[in-house]
Structure 1
Amino acid sequence: MEIINGVERRRRWRTEDKLRILAEIDAGARLAVVARRHDVSRGLIWQWRDAQRRGRLVVETPSFVPVHVVSALPGAEAMERVGGASCPGDALEGERSVEIVLPDGTRLRVAENIGAAALRRLLLVLRG
């Protein structure tokens, strides 16, 4: 049994769970029976099937992202003097990179070609 409390009243289904439920139907189980078993509406399952057919419902494979730790970042004055271009000892020097500044002042510099899934995981970790 899943208890939903607080402001959010809807369940958030993981992609893996959606695909597992769809696999039951693909194996020959009736949609209505599977929907009842998992306590999900048939209409939502149809939406998942449509998303799967269009290639929008896929599990992102885990990947590693290089992280470079520096002992200290220059102060705001130093960043203004160099135009925010790079930090001393920047490991991404020579590569095209993107710097992301979070509302709390945290700066994250990543390679330009970082994958969306990897960036999403990094931001989730940083937001804590």
Structure 2
Amino acid sequence: MGQVTVFSGPERRRRWSDDERLRILSEAFSPGACVARVAQRHDVSTSLVYTWRRKLRAASTEPTMTERSAPQFAEAMMAPEPGSARPSLNPAIVVDLARGNRVSIFPSASPALVAAALRALR
């Protein structure tokens, strides 16, 4: 005669209602709670608790159909503020000198400064 094994304990394929899931999630992710202990107390695997949380977050962040179907644009305008000239990061004039030396003149330099630098290079 063959041997029969009887498994006792809760059935592994449990069905959880939405209210039970929310109750377990709120308990597991409350401040100071340990997800593993809460899952063990309710006889649920910790991975299932995290799966429920991920699905709940995905469901709450999905845009509605009306939001997806109506794109909107915002008008952008750039106006220079008076008296705030932004210096350029690229030089306007680069003068290569002997022995690999280089003089760079940026657009924010005053005309008197540029004239003096060019006179000195003669």
TM-score range, shorter chain: 0.3 to 0.5
Greater RCO (Cα-Cα under 8 Å, separation 6 or more) = 1
Rg larger for: 2
TM-score, with length taken from structure 2: 0.38
